[in-house]
Amino acid sequence: MSSSEAASESGPGAAAAPDQQVAPGATASASVTARRERPSGGWALLGSELSVLFRRWRTWAMLAALAAIPVLIAVAVRITGGSSRGPAFLSDITANGLFVAFTALVVCVPLFLPLTVGVVAGDTIAGEASHGTLRYLVIAPAGRLRLLAVKYAGALVFSAAAALTVGVAGAAIGAALFPIGPVTLLSGATVSQGEALLRILLIAAYIAVSLAGLCAIGLFISTLTDVPVGAMAATAVLAIVSQVLDQLPQLSALHPWLFSHYWLGFGDLLRDPIAWDSFASNALLQLGYVAVFGALAIGRFTTKDILS
C-alpha cells in the first residue's frame, strides 16, 4: 500500500506529508488549544473536586475524629451517670439520648469544627500549589474564577458534612446507650422524635452557614501562600481570635461584626415556634464575609503568577 493510500485511509489530516516538518512545540501547543476549546462543565469540575476531597484519608480521619466526640460524651455520661455541670443539654442526656447530638454540637462549634474546616479551606489553593498541580488546573478549560468557586464550594460541602457527622453520630450513639422519646424544647414545648431529628438537621445546616465566612477567609489566605500548613494554621487561629474578641465586654461594639458572633445562636431552632432571627442575622453576616474575602481571593488569584 502506498503512502498516499495509507494517508487517505487514516482520515483527513491523520498523517503529515513526508516533506513537512513539525515544529518541536506544535504538538503540545495543539493539545493545550484543544483542551481550551473543549467546553468545560462546572458540575463535572465540582464532582471531581468532591471526589478528590472525600477520597483522602485525611478527610475521613477528621470526620471520624468529629464522630468520636459525641461517642466520648455519651460513654462518659453512661459511666458517670451524668452531671448538671458542663455543656448545655448535658444533664438531659440520661433522660433522652437525642440530647447527645445537641450537646456534641455545642461542644464542637467553638473549636473542633472550625479547626477541621480551617484545614480544608486553607488547603484549597495552597495545597494545589505545593503539589505543583495548580498550573495544570489553571490552563484547563475551567479558568481561575471557576476554579476558585469550585474550591470554595468543596469547602462548604465539607462544612455541612462535618456538622452533619456530629449530629448523626450523636443521635445514633444516644439511641444506643440511652432511652429516646419526645424532646422538650427550650420553650417548654414537647416535640416527637421525628421532629427532634429534623431540628438536629436544621442545626447542622445553621452551623454549615455559620462556617461559610470562615471558608471564605481560608480560601483567601490559601491564595497568599504556597505552604498549605501555614494557611490552615492562620485560618484556625483567626477562628479562635474572633471568639476570644467576642468574649471581651470592652469590644461589645465590635461583636456583631465578628464572623463567629452567631455561631452558638442555633438555640433559637429549639423553640416552638422556631425563631428565625438568629438564622437570618447569621446568614447575612456570613454573606458579607463571603463577599469581602471572596473578592479579595479573586483579586489575588487572578493576578497571581502561577505559570512561571
Render pLDDT for 137-190 as a digit per residue (tens, 0 to 9). 776 666 788 889 999 999 999 999 999 999 999 999 999 999 999 999 988 999
| pLDDT for position 141 | 60
Q: Distance between CA 2 and CA 9 in Å, rounded?
A: 11
The structure's pTM equals 0.83
Q: Distance between CA 92 and CA 84 in Å, rounded?
A: 9
What is the residue-averaged pLDDT of the chain?
86
Q: Averaged over 211-232, what is the pLDDT?
A: 96
Q: Averaged over 126-134, what is the pLDDT?
A: 85
Band (124; pLDDT cuts 50, 70, 90): very high
Q: Averaged over 253-260, what is the pLDDT?
A: 96
Q: Averaged over 297-303, what is the pLDDT?
A: 92
Q: Averaged over 120-133, what is the pLDDT?
A: 90
| pLDDT for position 134 | 81
Q: Averaged over 86-101, what is the pLDDT?
A: 88
Nearest to 36 by CA among 145, 143, 148: 143
Band (84; pLDDT cuts 50, 70, 90): low
Least confident among 31-45, 82-96, 253-267:
31-45
Residue identified by cell 479547626 is: 115
> Which residues contact residue 37 at a Cβ distance below 8 angstroms, ignoring those fewer than 6 apart?
none
Give the distance from CA 60 to its chain's centroid. Answer: 13
What percentage of residues in the chain have a pLDDT greater than 90? 69
What percentage of residues in the chain have a pLDDT greater than 70? 83
Give alpha helix (H) positions in the chain.
Answer: 3-10, 26-37, 42-53, 57-80, 99-108, 112-122, 126-131, 134-139, 143-177, 193-210, 212-223, 228-246, 277-303
> Which set of grid coordinates corresponds to residue 189?
414545648
Does 31 score more than 50 pLDDT? no
Q: Averaged over 84-98, what is the pLDDT?
A: 84
